[in-house]
C-alpha cells in the first residue's frame, strides 16, 4: 500500500460529460503530481502542486483543470474530452517539489483508467 489513493479506478465518459478524478495522499507530503500514461507512450507529467500552489503545467489543454484545495487532496476536473485523452491517469506525491531537487522519491497511486467515447 503506497499511501496514495485514487478514485474512481475506472471511468467511462462521453465527450460532452464533465467528471472529476480524485487523489488523496496520507503521507504528510507537500507536493502532488498528475501524470498521463497512454498506450505506447512514456509517462507524461501534467501538473505539479507544491504547498497547494501550481508550479508546473506541462502545456496541458484547458479541458483538463486541476485543483488542489489542501496538501492532501488533488483533483483533476475533466470536460469535453477527446477520445485521444483515454489513458491511465496517475497521481503521485513527494515531500516537496524543489528546484534544487532530485532528492525526493515520488509515491504513486494506482491510477484511474479513463475511456472517452
Of the candidates 28, 40, 43, the residue with the CA atom closest to the CA atom of residue 89: 43
Rank residues 60 and 80 by Cβ distance to another protein and give the closer one: 60
Task: Give CA–CA dist 88/38, Å, rounded.
Answer: 6
Interaction of residue 42 with another protein, rule CB under 8 A:
yes
C-alpha cell at 58: 506541462
Which of 46, 78, 92, 116 contacts another protein by CB under 8 A?
92
Least distance to another protein, CB of residue 44, Å? 8
Smallest gap from Cβ 42 to another protein, in A, equals: 4
Instruction: Find the shortest distance in angstroms from Cβ 80 to another protein.
Output: 27
Taking CB under 8 A as the rule, does residue 110 contact another protein? yes
Nearer to another protein, 85 or 112 (CB): 112
**Residue for cell digits 475511456?**
115
What DSSP assignment string belongs to 54-117?
Answer: EEEE-S--TTEEEEEEETTEEEEEEES--GGG-EEEEEEEES---TT-S-PPPEE---EEEEE-
Told to check if 4 binds another protein by CB under 8 A, we report yes
- Which residues contribute to the site for another protein (CB under 8 A)? 2, 4, 6, 9, 31, 40-45, 48, 56, 90, 92, 94, 96-111
Amino acid at each position: 500500500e503506497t499511501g496514495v489513493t485514487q478514485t474512481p479506478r475506472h471511468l467511462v465518459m462521453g465527450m460532452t460529460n464533465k467528471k472529476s478524478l480524485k487523489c488523496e495522499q496520507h503521507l504528510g507530503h507537500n507536493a502532488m503530481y498528475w501524470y498521463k500514461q497512454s498506450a505506447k507512450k512514456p509517462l507524461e507529467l501534467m501538473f505539479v502542486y507544491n504547498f497547494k500552489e501550481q508550479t508546473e503545467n506541462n502545456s496541458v489543454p484547458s479541458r483538463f483543470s486541476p485543483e488542489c484545495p489542501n496538501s492532501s487532496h488533488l483533483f483533476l476536473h475533466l470536460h469535453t474530452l477527446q477520445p485521444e485523452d483515454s489513458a491511465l491517469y496517475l497521481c503521485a506525491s513527494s515531500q516537496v517539489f524543489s528546484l534544487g531537487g532530485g532528492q525526493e522519491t515520488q509515491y504513486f497511486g494506482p491510477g484511474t483508467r479513463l475511456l472517452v467515447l
